[in-house]
């Protein structure tokens, strides 16, 4: 037995641990940003020769050892609130698996309050475990809330994850309302709690030893559009820093997960922040932030997940002494907490599938019907940031589809939730603009090949009276 597992704990093989999961249980799994998820118990459950219909709740994206194996075995009935695997996406869009999307900051409370059903068992990846505590691995997510809510607990201790990850964790567990105190975090890298997640020893039914790496993001190389978006964002931020008193002494930044967000993080060196302290306060820590720390561009970074590529993980693990003081992982209901986002005056940069001429953004559903992943933490930051930015390429499908449209077919972030839209063609600053003025500004950042048709829609919409120009006849059928 590894020295990461305290003596006397019920250490068993994954097959035996899976026996603690009932065929219709609600299962809470660790994991966020594609890392820190359990890798052995659910595949063992999927291999059982019996019918099952599990409900699975995760804090964020997990690997194929959760979603894919259960879907292939036809043992997944319901999934909450975010997923990233192709198999789960296909099963949800074909309605074989029921799916419900939620803002990440709220999931921990909702699980503890039974809003996704009675939480039967939590399956959590850790780097070590004791009689009444565990240390999470490469993400925290909603692990503290899941452990508190579940009737039974299975801990997978993964030797492929360095035990030194304990040095970056800050696990502050909040009480439920109405007994909730303010979160005492006053700086991005301030530690206010222990690195361990406590639990009732009576809950622990199994400890499983594993040694399997995460299956994390593989970020694509930045496209020309990504780099142009980064340039436009950088120019906008430099001007905003000079005029906005909130940013006079320090700049707190957040970027959404994914290749575009990672590319934008990687371009921070091109922005002149002057002598201001630059801090990252978001939900995911990606490869681009390692570069920013190495170049001394960042004073520190706070997140809930080390959503790194395989190379990024190796880099952080090998340099844990270098990064441990500057990187803090927190629970997702702290990393995404509206009060902290507002307290620090965060500038949040997230993406979308498409944005309409009124300023509404669709972040989750292609064509308004096929889910991509989920809203994640984008809504937490867009609505509560001092300055919310949506950054996206102006086209999709090789340029055949405009991502600036008259009316989005699904609304995740309303026109009131963010302030600025950035594409490779420029910046639409929507602050203080009337609906008609917003339309004009957004047409100017659309791809030039679509602007005439968007202007034609604008002319049709403004031909009738009303505060919001709208043409219901062509809002979804606007192209000749």
- Name the catalytic one among 156, 240, 283, 424: 283
Q: Count H helices, E strands: the chain?
A: 16, 24
Contact 229, 262 (CB under 8 A): no
Reduced to 3 states (helix: H, G, I; strand: E, B; else coil), residue 287 is: helix
**Residues near 157 by Cβ (< 8 Å), separated by ≥ 6?**
2, 4, 5, 126, 127, 128, 129, 207, 208, 209, 210
CA-to-CA distance for 387 and 350, rounded, in angstroms? 11
| 3-state SS assignment for residue 225 | helix
Alpha-carbon span 306 to 324, nearest angstrom:
12
Interatomic CA distance for residues 236 and 388, integer angstroms: 13
Structure tokens at 168: 């970056």
Specify the residue for token string 């990606």.
286
Q: What is the DSSP letter of 437?
A: H
240 annotated active-site = no
> According to DSSP H, which parts of 285-434 are helical?
287-294, 310-318, 320-323, 332-335, 338-344, 378-384
Active site positions, annotated: 283
């Amino acid at each position: 037995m590894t020295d990461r597992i305290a003596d006397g704990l019920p250490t068993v093989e994954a097959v035996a641990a899976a026996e603690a999961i009932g065929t219709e249980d609600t299962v809470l799994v660790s994991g966020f940003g594609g890392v820190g998820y359990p890798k052995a118990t659910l595949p063992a459950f999927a291999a059982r020769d019996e019918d099952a219909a599990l409900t699975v709740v995760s804090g964020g994206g997990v690997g194929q050892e959760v979603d894919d194996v259960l879907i292939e075995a036809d043992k997944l009935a319901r999934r909450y609130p975010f997923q990233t695997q192709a198999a789960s996406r296909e099963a949800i869009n074909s309605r074989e698996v029921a799916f419900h999307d939620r803002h990440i900051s709220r999931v921990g409370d909702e699980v503890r309050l039974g809003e996704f059903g009675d939480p039967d068992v939590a399956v959590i990846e850790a780097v070590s475990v004791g009689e009444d505590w565990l240390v999470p691995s490469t993400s925290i997510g909603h692990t503290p809330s899941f452990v508190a809510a579940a009737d039974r607990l299975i801990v997978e201790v993964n030797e492929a994850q360095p035990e030194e990850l304990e040095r970056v964790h800050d696990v502050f567990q909040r009480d439920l309302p109405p007994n909730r105190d303010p979160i005492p975090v006053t700086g991005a890298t301030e530690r206010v709690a222990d690195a361990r997640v406590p639990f009732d020893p009576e809950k622990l039914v199994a400890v499983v030893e594993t040694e399997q790496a995460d299956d994390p993001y593989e970020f694509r190389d930045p496209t020309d559009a990504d780099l142009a978006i980064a340039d436009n964002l950088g120019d906008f931020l430099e001007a905003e820093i000079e005029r906005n008193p909130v940013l006079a002494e320090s700049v707190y930044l957040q970027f959404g997960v994914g290749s575009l967000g990672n590319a934008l993080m990687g371009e921070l060196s091109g922005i002149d922040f002057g002598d201001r302290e630059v801090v990252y306060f978001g939900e995911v820590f990606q490869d681009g932030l390692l570069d920013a720390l190495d170049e001394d561009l960042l004073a520190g970074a706070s997140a809930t997940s080390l959503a790194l590529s395989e190379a990024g993980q190796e880099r952080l693990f090998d340099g844990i002494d270098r990064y441990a003081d500057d990187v803090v992982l927190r629970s997702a209901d702290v990393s995404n907490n509206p009060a902290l986002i507002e307290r620090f005056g965060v500038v949040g940069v997230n993406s979308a599938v498409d944005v309409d001429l009124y300023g509404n953004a669709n972040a989750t559903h292609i064509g308004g019907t096929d889910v991509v992943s989920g809203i994640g933490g984008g809504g937490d930051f867009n609505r509560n940031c001092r300055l919310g930015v949506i950054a996206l390429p102006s086209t999709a499908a090789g340029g055949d589809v405009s991502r600036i449209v008259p009316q989005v077919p699904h609304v995740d972030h309303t026109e009131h939730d963010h302030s600025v839209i950035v594409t490779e063609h420029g910046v639409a600053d929507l602050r203080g603009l009337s609906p008609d003025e917003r339309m004009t500004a957004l047409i100017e950042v659309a791809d030039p090949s679509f602007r005439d048709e968007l202007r034609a829609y604008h002319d049709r919409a403004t031909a009738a009276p009303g505060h919001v120009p709208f043409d219901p006849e062509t809002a979804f059928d606007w192209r000749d």
